[in-house]
A = this chain, B = another copy of it.
């Protein structure tokens, strides 16, 4: 049976005010799916009709929207942030703490309390894993890896040798942490010689790494992902990069080697960064934008993809005119 929580308790948690603090709820749901024991939330006028029709026992909304609902409410400043906090209260977590017998592990494994390790996992030598860690199926963890408490590692994840991970991190399925960086020197015959990648990857606390994302180990020093960084799916981080605290990167972004991205940056999907550059704190990069030079001034936004849609035939006209510029240009 799901636990019941009173609207008063919830209001306290989210720094909100109740018009009725005695309502008991036992789950979280969207306005349209809520029933008589649900708590829900109202963001903006797009959801007005759903608000009118909802069966929710109580609804989180902004104080300025108080007039929109007669029934029980909790008034807050930021309903979306409140939603994040409240939804966590009701998350069901399967309390099966167990280590599947298919685990293959090396010597000197130090495993914290309440570890869950699912099927077909392998763990190398000299690995230390904190309390309450969840490791899903088919995970490979190399030698000398250190993992903090409350970390979740999804299925088919790879964590290579020597990687250090803080606490409260999520690694989503298929991500690869600590493979060799892409470093080669060319000999006189045109062959590429691999540079040994002897650094590793250091990851802070509260970091999330998306599905099939790849983060390479450093060549001599470590690649570093600082506390609170959130990285979406299919992002590529090259060797020796540093991603600053609380920076957030959307899907398909790429960062070439040795680039340092500051704190609190917001990186749009598919954005690409050249190697060996520095990006100042609080920078915003629009989706799809390529960054080829260091950004020194913090807090600016950069864009180089069209902010509107270009019909194919219209773009051909623009492209032809741009090409003509080259023809007309007499300089070398």
Task: Give the interface of A toward B (CB within 8 A).
Answer: 28-30, 33, 78, 80-81, 83-85, 87-88, 91, 94, 100, 102, 104, 118-120, 122, 136-138, 140, 143, 154-156, 158, 160, 170, 172-174, 176, 179-180, 182, 184-187, 190-196, 198, 206, 208, 210-212, 214, 216, 220-221, 228, 230, 232-234, 236, 238, 246, 248, 250-252, 254, 256, 264, 269-270, 272, 274, 284, 286-293, 295, 300-319, 321-323, 325-326, 329, 331-332
Copies in the complex: 3
Q: Are B102 and A174 in contact (CB under 8 A)?
A: no
The dominant DSSP class at the A interface is loop
Q: Which residues of B contact A88 (CB under 8 A)?
A: 194, 196
Q: Are B304 and A315 in contact (CB under 8 A)?
A: yes
Q: Which residues of B contact A284 (CB under 8 A)?
A: 312
Q: Which residues of B contact A288 (CB under 8 A)?
A: 272, 290
Quote the shortest CB–CB distance from A198 to chain B (angstroms).
7
30 contacts between A and B (CB under 8 A): A29-B220, A84-B185, A87-B196, A87-B198, A88-B194, A102-B120, A104-B118, A104-B119, A136-B140, A156-B158, A160-B173, A173-B176, A179-B211, A190-B246, A210-B214, A211-B214, A214-B251, A216-B233, A233-B236, A234-B234, A256-B269, A270-B290, A272-B288, A287-B290, A287-B292, A302-B315, A303-B310, A303-B315, A303-B316, A306-B319
